Chains A and B, each alone.
Chain A
């Protein structure tokens, strides 16, 4: 491998590494957001237990 080839490969590896790092950071952030959504979902009262049972209504 010549010096020029090494430098060119390094340049493209740098681009790849930065984009990969960015995507990984975004993926970690989205994971955190998913966890927070789950936490909030647990805090919201469950509809089935909170709502009073509905009586059947005649239609028509």
Chain B
């Protein structure tokens, strides 16, 4: 865990140095384009967390492994934290670039919000049922359904008519190169390692909490 946390710290620091001191200004958006490096990296990390949550949910339903339920829950929780960051950084970027904090006419934004709210409801469902196999099964099915929204959210930008939101990844690869690409790749790696570190931290805390609860019941 300390090695993982140190790697995350080094990668995030390197990414920040590259973002502010090395990467060139964008020809169209100028300095404000620098939000892109963390905003897009965080968005892909949120998707990765939700996919991870769905995978663990699938494992729970398939193998009935009790650990998978908790892992799926922590993955979704991480996805929601990174999803919050996507919405916040996206709103700030939208304010500079488009002059609005939010545009309801943009499918990409609205679909990401739908995805975010869908996973918010995951917690409402989970905590409305008593702990046990029923709660684990319901949560797993819900997390599996949620993953369907990810490709829709990702494809929305390509299907949208407005195209205010920029397309950076096309069929022919990324729409940028040089230091911009290097900085983006480092930022993406930093966010993935940071998310994995936080996932491991939260998971170990939750497992310890569960064991303590069991011990308290035994001792009572």
Contact = CB atoms under 8 A, between A and B. Distances in A.
Nearest to B95: A7
Interface string A30-47: 100100110010011000
B32 A7 contact: yes
Question: Number of contact residues on A: which range applies?
Answer: 20 to 34
Nearest to B19: A12
A59 B39 CA distance: 70
Given A8-B32, A26-B202, A44-B219, A14 B89 contact: yes
Interface in A1-47: 2-5, 7-8, 10-12, 14-15, 18-19, 22-23, 26, 29-30, 33, 36-37, 40, 43-44
B30 interface: yes
Interface residues of B, number: 30
B208 interface: yes
Contacts of A8: 31-32, 34-35, 96
Contact of A3 (B96, B194, B208): B96
Interface string B11-36: 00000100100000000001110110
Interface of B: 16, 19, 30-32, 34-35, 38-39, 42, 81, 84-85, 88-89, 92-93, 95-96, 194, 198, 201-202, 205, 208-209, 212, 215-216, 219
Given A11-B35, A18-B84, 16 more contacts: A2-B31, A4-B32, A5-B31, A7-B35, A8-B96, A11-B38, A11-B88, A11-B93, A12-B19, A12-B38, A14-B92, A18-B81, A18-B85, A19-B194, A33-B208, A37-B212
